A and B are shown apart, each in its own frame.
Chain A
Amino acid sequence: MALPTYTFDAIIIGAGGAGMRAALALAESGSQVALVSKVFPTRSHTVSAQGGITCALGNVHPDDWRWHMYDTVKGSDYIGDQDSIEYMCEVGPQVVYELEHMGLPFSRLDNGRIYQRPFGGQSKDFGGDQAARTCAAADRTGHALLHTLYQRNLAEKTNVFSEWFAIDLVKAADGQGFAGVIALNIESGETAFLHARAIIFATGGAGRIYQSTTNALINTGDGIGMALRAGLPVQDIEMWQFHPTGIAGAGVLVTEGCRGEGGYLINKNGERFMERYAPHAKDLASRDVVARAMSLELRAGNGFDINGVSCVKLKLDHLGADLINSRLPGIRELSLTFAGVDPIREPIPVVPTCHYMMGGIPTNRFGQVINVDEQGKEHVVEGLYAVGECACVSVHGANRLGGNSLLDLVVFGRAAGLDVKEKIRDLPLRSVGEAELDAALSRLNRWDNTREGESVSQIRFEMQKTMQEDFGVFRTGEHMQQGLDKLLQLQQRLNHAAFKDHSRVFNTTRIEALELDNLMATALATAHAALYRTESRGAHSREDFPKRDDINWLTHTVYHGEGHRMTKRAVNMKPLNVKPFEPKERVY
């Protein structure tokens, strides 16, 4: 049976904020674009972002994008690429104004301008007083942003392949780059070849490698898995952000905007403990700093016990019902539903929870994917792009600042779309042969032809448990090595795993099996990279190497799937128009 083939100028895989912004940038080009998403676009995880999108509009106080840049470089613990950070912070206001013009219902200040709130790690004047730089639509900014982008795509009549799952990249017959992807129509269960000149990965994060995560069930690292299987590397993948405030037990996110609005954390003695760990910024220190402080409090026995779960609490009741109902209505709803607590009256039980993947597929600031060969030489992969959480354009380095992920999505989704638009005429439609198509289908065939074996859910459970126990907020070489050994065994078991139901129509078990391949690839990459980086920096906190080591590790790590090889890659310290920010000790 011949594989159905659909041909486009560009295909975008993933319809969250980054994918849909890229689609809009391409919409006016007159090109044929397909937006491929395993869920209906507004089900993408961008919808769960709460607190806002950061950029220097200066609506609340005089502001400067260079101050935002300084905060972001410092927040990254100096391994963010300064050319990308410069671009993001400088173009940020324009991109946010575009969102407003599209109809995004931002909250407003009395003078009618976009409301901005304080967020963690923000300062005025290069490390001075707390800034208020995060533009918000109440505490539903991600929902408002994602729906607005979907609505604009409706207006532009973007061609959406909704509920199609991308399985693997298809290599070009001549070995030069990629010709498209194999994708599976979830409703019919049939596969097709999507053939295109340009491919943009916007597949999001992989927080489901951990047991406790704020991430949606769909965050399974599909782009990371596809890239690694195609022989492409991933960068800084050891860097996982643990958000200080996930609801204890449920893992559901509580925005940093709560602390931006004046909330603070308390231990069981009622003490505002962040005053001890970050005397200046207190509860609005960077997320890695707050998550570590919380973990130390819990370790010292200063936690509350909620049904056997040790946690601290987020106090909001002093803010008053009016503020909570107008600025944090979604948080009140989530807290009532998942913690049984009304924050107007009682504090919310919270624990540090896996939240964000700083690492990803390395790209330049146009979103073009970068490959690193055996000799360490870098090449742009013509026609292949990655944007959003699956990418590592490296604006977040070792620790992302709150409000910078939504900005990353729209800035680099737009940049990649514009770059493809400019180059589309020169990009070839690469030819493929049976061998390349078969290779991209081999994974699905493996699953479809295995009838007996261990279940997907059992292996996934053990992988998540291993990651949670051995690659959490604090890490040691010994535990990580044990964790890695377990993961390698799990990978062996996964090679022989099976599911029972082999029907075609809307078989979500088949999709979960394909997703587990991607989760496992991401977990293994994380484990190798975390063992490789023998220092503590940003979110990567090693008890056996507690100090930052700029002599050896002011660098990106690069993981190559084949042979689990690790190499280093230089951080870009050359912004185009401002002076570089030199590494300093990072205090809040």
Chain B
Amino acid sequence: MSEAMRTVKFKIYRFNPEVDIKPTMKDYELTIPDKQDMMLLEAILRIKAMDDSLAFRRSCREGVCGSDGMNINGRNGLACVTLLSALKQPIELRPLPGLPVIRDLVVDMKVFFEQYAKVKPYLINDEPPPAKERLQSPAERKKLDGLYECILCACCSTSCPSFWWNPEKFIGPAGLLQAYRFIADSRDTAKVERLEALTDPFSVFRCRGVMNCVDVCPKGLNPTRAIGHIRSELLAEGN
């Protein structure tokens, strides 16, 4: 007895700079068992087995590496943790908005990583380290929860209108979340310098509180809250 099957419809953004003058949306159909659900990434991998010219990034397939951020039915997310059953058909897949497209669903993340690097996302402590670990109380450590878990998938920054307009000057939600991760770390001694670097009108203050970042973060993090904390710290520092 053959299993009941169903067809899932897709529209996928296609652009290969070697042959295409402009991008197109290409239709695909995937036939899967009626009762079977699967992650969107698995479906895209099956489409790629049929059409090997489709390009996208993927690695861990469990939502921790941040490779497969894309725009899914108009909303940014990770393909590997999005169930097909949660999506309306035809499922429209586009590259993350606001970044240059290299090919198909692959975007150039250079400016995103530059904004990340700008906040000096590493611990700065000018005192010589002790022989063992630096002490940190559980309460101090708790301040890093909701910050350090970022996977740099760029779903947040590429859903942010302020980042679309000023990707070179506004650090964006992902970078600012990490800026605050180090400001909040009891082991870091560069808080004043970190805050001073953020006082210009763009780096932090271009955030308009749209909160798309919070809405799309696949890890459930809240960059808007972190940005609020940075603003409060800037005010407290008298800037």
**Residues of A at under 8 Å CB distance from B?**
39-40, 42-45, 47-48, 57, 97, 100-103, 105-114, 137, 140, 143-144, 147-148, 151-152, 154-155, 187, 216-218, 250, 252-253, 330, 333-334, 337-338, 455-457, 499-501, 503-509
Alpha-carbon distance A140/B147, docked complex (angstroms): 13
Kindly identify, within residues 5 to 60 of chain B, every residue whose CB is under 8 Å from any CB belonging to chain A.
16-19, 48-49, 52-53, 55-60
Q: Is the CB of B149 within 8 A of A140?
A: yes
Chain A residues lying within 8 Å of B63, measured Cβ to Cβ, are 333-334, 337
Known A-B contacts A45-B59, A47-B65, A143-B149; the reply to A506 vs B103 at CB < 8 A is yes
- Tell me if B185 is interfacial: C-beta within 8 Å of chain A: yes
Whether B152 lies near A42 (C-beta < 8 A) is yes
Question: What is the total of A-B residue contacts with beta carbons within 8 Å?
Answer: 150
Classify the interface of chain B: helix, strand, loop or mixed. Answer: loop
Closest 4 CB pairs of A and B: A103-B123, A112-B135, A501-B53, A151-B122
In the complex, the answer to whether A151 meets B148 with C-beta atoms within 8 Å is: no
Say which one of B126-134, B158-166, B208-216 lies at the interface with A.
B126-134
16 A-B pairs within 8 Å (CB atoms) are namely: A39-B57, A42-B151, A43-B59, A44-B59, A97-B132, A101-B133, A101-B134, A103-B188, A112-B137, A148-B122, A216-B65, A217-B59, A337-B81, A506-B55, A508-B55, A509-B48
Measuring CB to CB, which residues of chain B are less than 8 angstroms from any residue of chain A?
16-19, 48-49, 52-53, 55-67, 81, 102-104, 106, 109, 113, 117, 120-123, 125, 129, 131-138, 140-141, 144, 148-149, 151-152, 182, 185, 187-188, 220
List 13 extra interface pairs beyond A111-B135, A506-B104, CB under 8 A.
Answer: A42-B65, A48-B64, A48-B65, A97-B132, A101-B123, A108-B137, A109-B138, A112-B135, A147-B148, A252-B62, A457-B52, A500-B53, A505-B102
Q: Which of A218, A500, A503 contacts B19 (CB 8 A)?
A: A503
Minimum Cβ distance to chain A for residue B178 (Å): 9
Task: Give the shortest distance, in Å, between B50 (CB) and chain A (any CB).
Answer: 9
Query: Taking CB as reference atom, which chain B residue is nearest A137?
Result: B148
- Which B residue's beta carbon lies closest to that of A59? B133
A45 B122 Cβ-Cβ under 8 A: no
**Inter-chain contacts of A39 with B (CB < 8 A):** 57, 59, 65, 67
- Determine the distance from Cα of A575 to Cα of B10 in the docked complex, in whole angstroms: 60
Nearest chain A CB to B193's CB is how many angstroms away?
14
B52 touches A455 (CB 8 A): yes
Q: For the complex, what is the distance from the CA of A330 to the CA of B106, rounded to whole Å?
A: 27
Q: Is A503 in contact with B122, judged by CB distance below 8 angstroms?
A: no
Instruction: From the candidates A100, A252, A503, A504, name the one contacting B133 in the complex (CB within 8 A).
Output: A100
Residues from chain B with a CB closer than 8 A to the CB of A505 are: 16-18, 102-103
Q: How far is the CA of A500 from the CA of B182 in the complex (A)?
A: 48
Q: Which residues of A contact B185 (CB under 8 A)?
A: 103, 105
CA–CA, A542 and B141, complex, Å:
47
Q: Is the CB of B137 within 8 A of A45?
A: no
Contact B123–A102 (Cβ < 8 Å): yes
